[in-house]
A and B are shown apart, each in its own frame.
Chain A
Amino acid sequence: QSVLTQPPSVSGAPGQRVTISCTGSSSNIGAGYDVHWYQQLPGTAPKLLIHVTNNRPSGVPDRFSGSKSGTSASLAITGLQADDEAEYHCQAYDSRLGGLVFGGGTKLTVL
């Protein structure tokens, strides 16, 4: 299983707000390491969505935001749209492993 834990799936209606959690431990998120998020549309490669907890690359709408508290991080999506339907992955550094780790991914369904 993945070092970072994400719910397998979340869903929401168009216009609603959804959050996706990413739970780690004292050797990764809890140690203060940055959390990053990727969006993977069906059949495509992941794309950087949020870096260093809550920074959006150019072109990513401000409907996407990130936060972190303790050993967990969250991705929030407001004003849900049909083309937000995708898999979302969190990523961080783990000091116990000495490398980079991902969550298992969360599939977002827009109802």
Chain B
Amino acid sequence: QVQLQESGPGLVKPSENLSLTCTVSGGSISGYYWSWIRQPPGKGLEWIGFISYTGSTNYNPSLKSRVSISVDTSKNEFSLRLSSVTAADTAVYYCVRNSRLLPATFFDYWGQGTLVTVSS
């Protein structure tokens, strides 16, 4: 059974960078695409972007200028970096596994999520 676990700081100061890592266990990161999705408190889900195990990426246009997703197949993990954060970036961040390629992509395995609060 594939399991995903997010890790990283729960508190980030405004204008700084948010960095999270997702460790995949119970299966290989190779052969799949992996996404980050976030959910602000009391709001809906927002897809941030995805990366393939080979390193190709696709980002949400609304966040593209501030987002970078990387992968480390040797550690079976992938990471999110969001720059110049504001309070609007406060959310629960989920790492997920993509099933199927675009445009038929859906998300079949989810991490438990980690709350990141942007505040001074």
Residue A47 CB within 8 A of the other chain? yes
Of the candidate stretches A13-21, A69-77, A96-104, the one touching chain B is A96-104
Measured between beta carbons, the chain A residues less than 8 angstroms from B44 are 2, 89, 102-105
Residue B84 CB within 8 A of the other chain? no
Measured between beta carbons, the chain B residues less than 8 angstroms from A52 are 104, 106
Residue A10 CB within 8 A of the other chain? no
- Contact between B47 and A102, CB atoms less than 8 A apart: yes
- Contact between B104 and A47, CB atoms less than 8 A apart: no
Residue B105 CB within 8 A of the other chain? yes
The CA-CA distance from A105 to B49 in the complex, in Å, is: 20
Of the candidate stretches B20-28, B74-82, B107-115, the one touching chain A is B107-115
**Which residue from chain B places its CB closest to the CB of A100 in the assembled complex?**
B47
Measured between beta carbons, the chain A residues less than 8 angstroms from B56 are none
Residue B88 CB within 8 A of the other chain? no
**Which residue from chain B places its CB closest to the CB of A89 in the assembled complex?**
B45
Measured between beta carbons, the chain A residues less than 8 angstroms from B58 are 98-99
Q: Mark B87-108, 1 if CB is under 8 A from A, else 0.
A: 0000000100001001111111
Measured between beta carbons, the chain B residues less than 8 angstroms from A57 are 108
- Chain B 38-68 interface residues, beta-carbon cutoff 8 Å to A: 43-47, 49, 58-61
Residue A34 CB within 8 A of the other chain? yes
Residue positions of A touching B, CB distance < 8 A:
2, 33-34, 36, 38, 44-48, 51-52, 57, 89, 91, 93, 95, 97-105
Q: Apart from A93-B105, A99-B61, what 20 extra A-B contacts exist at CB < 8 Å? A: A2-B44, A36-B107, A46-B45, A51-B108, A52-B106, A91-B45, A91-B106, A91-B107, A93-B104, A97-B60, A97-B61, A99-B47, A99-B59, A99-B60, A100-B35, A100-B60, A101-B47, A102-B47, A105-B43, A105-B44
